[in-house]
Chain A
Amino acid sequence: MNIETLFYLFAAVTVYAALRVITARNPLHSVLFLVLAFVSCAGIWMLLEAEFLAIALVLVYVGAVMVLFLFVVMMLDINIEQMRIGFLRWLPVGLLLAGLIGVQMVWVLGARETSAGMTAVQHAADYSNTKELGRLIYTDYVYPFELAAVLLLLAMVAAIALTLRKRRDAKRQNIGKQIRVTKQDRLRIVSVPSASKSAAAQDVVASDDHAAD
Chain B
Amino acid sequence: MTLLSSLSPAYAEIFLLVMLSVILIVDLFIVSYTKTLTYLMVQLTLLGCSLITVATHQNGIAHLFNHMFVDDLMSDVLKLLTYLSVSMMLVYSRSYLLARGLFTGEFLGLVLFATLGMMVMISACNFLSLYLGLELLALSLYAMVALQRDSATSTEAAMKYFILGAMASGFLLYGMSMLYGATGSLDVNHIAQVILHGAPNKELLVFGLAFIVAGLAFKLGAVPFHMWVPDVYHGAPTAMTMFIGSAPKLAAFAFVMRILVEALQPLMIHWSGMLTILAVLSMAVGNITAIAQTNLKRMLAYSTIAHMGFMLVGILSGTIEGYGSSMFYAVVYVLMSLGGFGMIMLLSREGFEADNLNDFKGLNQRSPWLAFMMLLLMFSMAGVPPTVGFYAKFSVLNAAVQTGHITLVVMAVLFSLVGAFYYLRIVKLMYFDAPESHEKINLQPDSSLLISINGLAVLALGILPGTLMSVCAVSVQQSLLH
Contacts and interface: CB of A to CB of B under 8 A. Distances in A.
Contacts, number: 83
Interface string A112-156: 111110100000000000000000000111111001101101110
B191 to A, nearest CB: 12
Contacts of B66: 139-143
Given A109-B204, A158-B142, 18 more contacts: A105-B207, A108-B203, A112-B203, A114-B201, A141-B66, A143-B129, A147-B120, A147-B136, A148-B132, A150-B116, A151-B139, A154-B110, A157-B110, A158-B106, A158-B139, A158-B140, A160-B106, A162-B143
B379 interface: no
Given A150-B136, A151-B136, A115 B143 contact: no
Chain B contact surface mostly: helix
B109 interface: yes
A161 B107 contact: yes
Given A109-B203, A140-B66, A150-B17, A158 B143 contact: yes
A115 B317 CA distance: 32
Interface of B: 17, 21, 24, 64-66, 68-69, 104, 106-107, 109-110, 113, 116, 120, 126, 128-129, 132-133, 135-136, 139-140, 142-143, 146-147, 149, 181-184, 200-201, 203-204, 207
Contacts of B113: 150, 154, 157
Interface string A62-106: 000000000000000000000000000000000000000000010
B184 A142 contact: no
Interface string A171-202: 00000000000000000000000000000000
A193 to B, nearest CB: 50
B136 A161 contact: no
B17 A162 contact: no
Contact of B69 (A112, A141, A143): A143
A144 B132 contact: yes
A-B residue pairs, 5 tightest by C-beta: A161-B106, A158-B143, A143-B65, A147-B132, A140-B66
Interface of A: 105, 108-109, 112-116, 118, 139-144, 147-148, 150-151, 153-155, 157-158, 160-162, 165
A208 B127 CA distance: 72
Contacts of A157: 24, 106, 109-110, 113, 143
A116 B132 CA distance: 26
Contacts of A105: 207
A139 B181 CA distance: 24
A139 B106 CA distance: 32
Nearest to B182: A116
Given A142-B65, A150-B136, A154-B140, A116 B181 contact: yes
